[in-house]
Structure 1
Amino acid sequence: MVHGAQGSLESTVKQLAPGRAATMGPSEKLSYDITELRPQLYWDLPADIDPIRRLLERYSGVPPEEVEKHILAVRQNLWNIKPYGCIGKFRFLQLDFAADPRYQDALKRLTRRCTKEALLDVGCCVGQMLRKMVVDGVDSSRLFGTDLEPRFLEMGYEMFRDKGRLRSMFVAGDVLDHDDDPKDPLRLLDGKMTIIHAASFFHLFTWDDQVAAARRLVRFLKPGDKNAFIFGRQVGCEDPGYQQGPKGYTRYLHNAASWQKMWNEVGQQTGTRWRTEVDVIPESGDAVTKSADVNFEFEGLNRIRFGVYRA
């Protein structure tokens, strides 16, 4: 499913028939009891929502007295689509990515006169980062987003009230789909990007699935672009390895060494070379456990920002 097709990709959109987007139909049931998890995952509105409040008032035109009501209505609609912890905990309101120096680097490149840069936000949810970038001066036609759930992309237009004026393209698809699927809608983005943002994304998967996802991200980048880079944030661990979440599935959490090791493997499989950077976000372990990123707890948890650069 493609939303907001525009710019240099317009001809590609016309050539490529949209593929399926993975969704949970009305007859499908969750494998766990959401009523038991709701107190843990469905939080009250945070006390400090000033950054997103300013964005909604100035960019979206939401009246100040209606902001909280608007946010709560959006959260409920998103929760009805998929009761994810990041939805219940209002993770989609947070704009802390703007404090990452790599965000500022991306911003500088995207706001240069006659820039050819293009940024893709992977797992973009409602596209809050892209709207923030527009407010920060980026031409929205240089911004792209993808998410597994197409209804999140539609809710982004509702949240930010910009349908018809935002020129960004959104494509619903699964980065873990087989690379050779001719109906994969994400093929439309292959080889077009110079910068990729992936926050709260890799830590959802096993090692093998992270490698597969990283291979897919490499395909999104312009071939041979020496300045291309990937950045984001995720939950990490002092001692890397598999950890089990509350719903019984496992995911692999990284430290700096394992993150580089994984990208070495990605490089071997794609004929590329990558240099990584990892910064641990300074905060207490208790703060990490209670954050909107985390739905589980154990020793050594932290949150990390990362950059991945061509070597």
Structure 2
Amino acid sequence: MGVASMRTKLILSSLRPPSRCKNMAADDIHESHDAVLRGKVYIDTLPADILPAKKLLEKYSGIRSKDVDRHIHHVRDRMWEIQPHVFVGHFRFLSLGFTSDPCYHAALRRLLQPKPAARLLDLGCCVGQLLRQLAFDGVDTTRLYGIDVEPRFLDLGYELFRDRRKFKATLIIGDLLKPGEAGTGEETLKALDGRMSIVHATSFFHLFAWEDQLRAAVRIVRFLDPSDYGVMIFGRQVGSTMPGERKGPNGDRRYLHDQETWQALWDEVGKLTGTSWRAIIDPLENEGGNTDGIDDTLRRVRFSVHRA
């Protein structure tokens, strides 16, 4: 199951009309759904935390400051038509919070070195915001790779950043959890095996049950250069002070980690791949989970994984 398709299913399942609405006209139901979306996962005002992204669009993309807000709204609403999810509705695809992660700066230093030529792969790259920030920070974009299951997001990234001619990263439509299935990009993904120095994966692992996380992690290891002992996997996800399996809004199973279980997952990856890993989780200060008061054990965390 792809990340984008999962997100779409989750939001649509949460919008099923209650039984008391079964006799409402179709237009009334549609209107009530729009109201729910507006109140829950779609906002009109640009949040303050995307100010760095607005500056990036001005300096990297050359969009005039007076036009930036309108441009963002236009692209966001195009994305909303594809996937009506809070990630889109709240402009989270424009968050550049990763720039505060020490692992981002470690990755940047490696990518700026002329030799050896490090490469970075962004899983679930969406519109490629991390890749564009790296490009703005001076990285040769031929060293950058991105994977997403939604091809329209990859295309909208060029529209958002207005860089189709100058951005030379390799963007691939693919699904790590469906190897060998038609339309999952597996043959293209195989071409990346053994070539990556760094893998970024934000809001990825926490969407899946333990066994699917394990499958994805084993696949990620295949992307990494086996001769490079400085390889790194990093990103953000939702963790928990009480790790374990949770049931998602659509009845799907998800596993949330603390430090101990995150290491345990990567110990299992090591056994399956003949490798050894040191896995780290750090809670993000002043950032809880997206709980709406339902579960105060959830925590937003940053993670990294290194060869042991």
Shorter chain as normaliser: what TM range? Answer: 0.7 to 0.9
1:174 maps to which residue?
A: 175
Instruction: Map Cα deviations across residues 152-171 of structure 1 (whole Å, 9 max, x no partner).
Output: 10010000000021010100
Distance 1:41 1:295, change over 3 A: farther
Percent same amino acid among aligned pairs?
Answer: 48
What are the within-5 Å matches in structure 2 for residues 64-79 of structure 1? 64-79=65-80
2:301 maps to which residue?
A: 304
Confirm or deny: 8 A CA contact 2:148 2:154 kept in the other structure. Answer: yes
SS in 1 for 2:121: strand
Confirm or deny: 8 A CA contact 2:119 2:198 kept in the other structure. Answer: yes
Q: Offset of 1:145 from its aligned partner? A: 0.5
What are the within-5 Å matches in structure 2 for residues 133-212 of structure 1? 133-178=134-179, 184=186, 185-212=188-215
What are the within-5 Å matches in structure 2 for residues 105-116 of structure 1? 105-116=106-117
Confirm or deny: 8 A CA contact 1:85 1:295 kept in the other structure. Answer: no
What are the within-5 Å matches in structure 2 for residues 7-156 of structure 1? 30-33=12-15, 35=33, 36-44=36-44, 45-156=46-157
Return the letter of the residue paired with 2:304.
G
Return the letter of the residue paired with 2:72.
I
Partners of 1:150 and 1:297 in 2: how far apart? 34
* Higher RCO, Cα 8 Å, sep 6+: 1
Q: Offset of 1:50 from its aligned partner? A: 1.7
Structure 1 regions of 5+ residues with no counterpart? 1-20
1:251 maps to which residue?
A: 254
Q: What TM-score do you get using the length of structure 1 for normalisation? A: 0.84
SS in 1 for 2:254: strand
Partners of 2:271 and 2:63 in 1: how far apart? 49
Distance 1:245 1:23, change over 3 A: closer
Distance 1:128 1:296, change over 3 A: farther
Q: What TM-score do you get using the length of structure 2 for normalisation? A: 0.85
Moved more, 159-168 or 178-187: 178-187
Partners of 1:112 and 1:32 in 2: how far apart? 47
Q: Offset of 1:245 from its aligned partner? A: 3.0
1:18 maps to which residue?
A: none
2:24 maps to which residue?
A: none
Structure 2 regions of 5+ residues with no counterpart? 17-32
Distance 1:48 1:279, change over 3 A: closer
Instruction: Map Cα deviations across residues 229-269 of structure 1 (whole Å, 9 max, x no partner).
Output: 10111011001011233333331110000000001111111
Instruction: Map Cα deviations across residues 129-154 of structure 1 (whole Å, 9 max, x no partner).
Output: 01001111111111111111111100
Partners of 2:137 and 2:287 in 1: how far apart? 31
Return the letter of the residue paired with 1:214.
A
Distance 1:296 1:82, change over 3 A: farther
1:9 maps to which residue?
A: none
Larger Rg: 2
SS in 1 for 2:55: helix
Partners of 2:88 and 2:292 in 1: how far apart? 12
Instruction: Map Cα deviations across residues 160-196 of structure 1 (whole Å, 9 max, x no partner).
Output: 0000210101001001012698961322221110100
Return the letter of the residue paired with 1:33.
L
